[in-house]
Amino acid sequence: MNNAIQDLNDLARACGDGFPMPATANNGAVFEEPWQAHAFAMTLQLHEKGVFTWPQWADALTREIRAGQTRGEASDGSLYYTHWLNALEQLVIERQLGTPDEIHDLEHAWEAAAKRTPHGQPIVLNAE
């Protein structure tokens, strides 16, 4: 793999420059929240780098949605990107790109970076 993603820091750098949010026909955003767009972009990045195939992704997302149904979660689609993110995190852990603790730490690093970033500017993680 060229430009292989070896760990969560590589993934964060690959997705950290921001990306335009596509608009729908009704001029609304495709994603309700920025984190949903980031989860989508990270998934695309990992697939493009060969970390998983689309069938593997579909299987992971299906497992997570079914687990949510088993837990009695709403089935109205409101948790779709929560399931998406959970499936992505599970694949990252299974592929040993990161641990649950590293994911947790990175989540807080993104949150802190977002708070210190002026509105309209790309969120940039500090190199650590």
pLDDT category at 35 given cuts 50, 70, 90 is confident
DSSP assignments along 49-115, one per residue: TTSS-HHHHHHHHHHHHHHHHHTT---SSTTHHHHHHHHHHHHHHHTTS--HHHHHHHHHHHHHHHH
pLDDT per residue as tens digits for the range 44-86: 999 999 999 999 999 999 999 999 999 999 888 889 999 999 9
Q: Judge if pTM exceeds 0.85.
A: no
Check residue 12 and report its DSSP letter.
Answer: H
Asked if the structure places residue 122 within a domain, the reply is: no
pLDDT category at 42 given cuts 50, 70, 90 is very high
What is the tally of structural domains in the chain?
Answer: 1
**What is the extent of the structural domain holding 95?**
8-16+30-116
Asked if the structure places residue 60 within a domain, the reply is: yes
